[in-house]
Every structure is written in structure tokens, then in C-alpha cells.
Amino acid sequence: MINIALLGCGRIGQMHAANINAHPRAKLAMVFDSHKPSADNLGKSLGVPVAASADSIFASDNVDAVLIASATETHADFIEQSVAAAKPVLCEKPIDLNLKRVNECAAAIAASPVPVQLGFNRRFDPGHRAARDAMRAGDIGQLHQVVITSRDPEIPPRSYLQSAGGLLRDMTIHDFDLARFMLDDEPTEVFAVAGALIDPALGAELNEIDTAMIILRTADGKQCHINNSRTAVYGYDQRIELLGTTGMVQSNNQKRHELKRYNRKATEISEAYQYFFIERYHEAFMAEVSAFVDCIENGTTPEVSFEDGRRALILAEAAYLSVAEKRMVQVSEIDS
Ligand SMILES: NC(=O)c1ccc[n+]([C@@H]2O[C@H](COP(=O)([O-])OP(=O)(O)OC[C@H]3O[C@@H](n4cnc5c(N)ncnc54)[C@H](O)[C@@H]3O)[C@@H](O)[C@H]2O)c1
């Protein structure tokens, strides 16, 4: 059993805690949150010890590895501390909102063999992964286009948006990672349009956007289109399409079940989509923990690396520059 300690007992921390506890090869060793009641509640509900500090987790012989699910601004420091303590890390996205800080963190951990896995859970979704496997196996011939639709069911509260770091760094970061995963290549050019269409006051108050369309292109001309909305009234919309010279594959939305209802007014009425990321990506989050445990047990390199987190942030910065300057941006302008 791999003893994993959890840093951060908020929304996603609670989910990770339950997933670790349910995992056959992992055990939740202890939890910590700077907001003590959050840690106490989670520790009590799962019957696991609450650490007195983050430092005591890094120092503990009872902790084999660390899962960082605390607020984004803590990630880079915790990654550095974990690596220095020789504890493998699974860290939620994004590494940090500031590329300079991410580069400093990269330099700080560069010489260490300690595994650092980034929390890009969507790569582990069975449908998304099957699409990529099919593409790699040649099922659709030569890949030309990737289309990623990623829309949230409802816009988060202002309090969240104030510190989330902006749509492209907080939400689209998953899609930038999926774009790289599906293209199996690095985008070299980025063009983006974005605005506050759902809540126009967001733009004025927080300089925030809630709706975006982004085009990416690789050096050999493969194209990717990402479209994001913070509110799709019909639910969490997560679709991926790969078009190649001999066919197309789609990874589609999921429902709780496939029952269809028929009446005088409508046919094929089906369940709503699974509500949000915790429900929709449950299998993916579990597989993400499995991949982390595999790395620790087998001494292998994580499939989703720190560098994947850094590259996704570079694409986010390129997209912001494109929005600001209304032009196609070369990724090399950011990653220089
Ligand atoms: N992979 C995904 O799909 C996904 C989904 C949601 C959130 N996230 C990421 O997970 C992280 C947490 O998001 P959330 O929605 O759970 O937020 P949240 O606000 O619900 O929880 C964050 C927790 O971190 C705690 N915290 C803050 N500073 C701390 C510190 N120094 N030490 C220990 N704990 C500290 C807070 O008290 C809070 O309980 C964010 O980085 C977010 O981007 C990823």
C-alpha cells in the first residue's frame, strides 16, 4: 500500500481523499488544510489523522507520497518541498498562475528523480484515451483536426473567479493539455477570441472572460479548435472529435444511464448529462491515482509530467496575448 497524504481539504481535496481511500493499492495517511475545520471535518469523516502542519507531512516516515489539492498559489512551494523531502507528488492543475514562478519551480526540481505528476485528469477518461489510442493506431489515417468542446454547467461565484487566475489559465488549461495529448505534437501558433458574454459585468469588474474560442496549429499544419463556455444551460459538455484522412472518432458526453423516454410531443428524451467534473470524470480521477501509484511502485516516470503543466500554461499565455493583440501568436514568443 502506498501511504498518500493530502494537502488541501476543499472541494477537490475531499474527492481525492475518498478516491485514495477507495483505491486497492493506496491508503490516505493523513490530511492537512490551513483552514483547520476543513481538515478536521475530513479527517473525522474518514477516520484519518490530521497533520499539525504541511511540514509535518513532508517530515513523516508514514507518508510515501503527497497529493496537492490546496489552493493554486500553494502548488509550486508544496511541489518543491515534497521533492526536497523525496516524496512523489501528484499536484492539481495549474502549477501556478505565473509562468516565471513555474520556471523557477522547474529549475528547483530539475535535478531530482522524484516523480511529479500533474493533475490533468481528463487524459485518463476512458473515452478520450480510446480516441487518442485509435488515432495512434492509425484508425483515422493521418490526423488533420482536433475539436474540443468544454463547457461548464454554470458559472462559478465571483469569489472563485476573483482568485482562479482567469478562464484560460484555470479552465482552458485542461483543454490545452488535451490538445497536446490528442495532437500528439506541440502547437506552435495560437489564435483566440474571448469575452464576457454570459456576465458582461465580469469584464469590467474582474477583467475576466467567460466564453472563448481558440485555434491552435502545429508546425506540420495540424489544427485544433477549443471552445469554452462557463455556462451551458443543458449541462457539462465535454466532447472531443479527431478527424483524419480515413475517418473520425468522437469521445462524447456521459449520462447516468441511457434510458430513453417517448411521448406525444417528443422522442428519445434522455437523462441530463452528468452534472460536473466530479461525476463526469470519476473514472478518470480514479485512473489518475492508479497511474500515480504505478509510478511509485514501478519507479517509472509519470505519464503526465510537470513539463505538461508548464506547456499548457505557455499555451494559455499565448492565448491571452492573442486576445489582447487580436492576432495569431507564435508559441515561441512566450516560450523564449
Ligand atoms: N482537475 C480538476 O478538474 C480540478 C477541479 C477543481 C479544482 N482543481 C484545482 O484544485 C485546486 C483546489 O481547488 P478547489 O476547487 O478544491 O478549491 P477549494 O477552495 O474548495 O479548496 C482549496 C483548499 O486549499 C486550502 N488551502 C489554502 N492554502 C493552503 C495551505 N497553505 N495549506 C493547506 N491548505 C491550503 C483551503 O483552505 C481550501 O480548503 C485548485 O488549484 C484548482 O485549480 C482541479
Ligand 1, pocket-test mutation among 14, 77, 92, 101, most atoms within 8 A of CB? 92
Q: Find where cell 447516468 sits.
A: 256
Other C-beta atoms closer than 10 Å to the C-beta of 225 total 15
Its pTM stands at 0.97
Amino acid making up residue 294: D
Pairing, β 187-195 against β 329-330: antiparallel
Pairing, β 116-118 against β 143-151: unpaired
Please report, in tens digits, the pLDDT of each residue of the chain (336 residues total): 999 999 999 999 999 999 999 999 999 999 999 999 999 999 999 999 999 999 999 999 999 999 999 999 999 999 999 999 999 999 999 999 999 999 999 999 999 999 999 999 999 999 999 999 999 999 999 999 999 999 999 999 988 898 899 999 999 999 999 999 999 999 999 999 999 999 999 888 899 999 999 999 999 999 999 999 999 999 999 999 999 999 999 999 999 999 999 999 999 999 999 999 999 999 999 999 999 999 999 999 999 999 999 999 999 999 999 999 999 999 999 987
- The ligand 1 atom at the shortest distance from the C-alpha of residue 13 is 16
Q: Tell me, in angstroms, the distance from the centre of ligand 1 to residue 136's CA.
A: 34
Nearest CA to ligand 1 atom 7: 12
Q: Tell me, in angstroms, the distance from the centre of ligand 1 to residue 12's CA.
A: 6
- CB under 6 Å to ligand 1: residues? 7-13, 32-35, 38, 54, 69-72, 74, 92-93, 119, 121, 170, 277
Q: Tell me, in angstroms, the distance from the centre of ligand 1 to residue 33's CA.
A: 10
CA distance 164 to 187: 25
Q: Tell me, in angstroms, the distance from the centre of ligand 1 to residue 37's CA.
A: 15
Ligand 1, pocket-test mutation among 38, 70, 277, most atoms within 8 A of CB? 70
Domains of the chain and any CATH numbers:
2-114 (3.40.50.720), 125-284+311-334 (3.30.360.10)
Which spans in the chain are helix H?
11-22, 36-46, 54-59, 75-84, 99-109, 126-136, 158-164, 167-170, 172-183, 200-206, 277-280, 282-298, 306-325, 331-334
Q: Find where cell 494537502 sits.
A: 7
Ligand 1, pocket-test mutation among 34, 78, 236, most atoms within 8 A of CB? 34
Q: Tell me, in angstroms, the distance from the centre of ligand 1 to residue 180's CA.
A: 25
Ligand 1, pocket-test mutation among 6, 12, 89, most atoms within 8 A of CB? 12
Looking at residue 203, its pLDDT comes to 87
Looking at residue 336, its pLDDT comes to 76
Instruction: Identify how many contiguous H helices and E strands the chain contains and give both numbers.
Output: 14, 14
Amino acid making up residue 326: K
Nearest CA to ligand 1 atom 3: 277
Looking at residue 162, its pLDDT comes to 87
Looking at residue 159, its pLDDT comes to 87
Closest CA to 228 of 186, 275, 256, 196: 196
Q: Tell me, in angstroms, the distance from the centre of ligand 1 to residue 7's CA.
A: 9
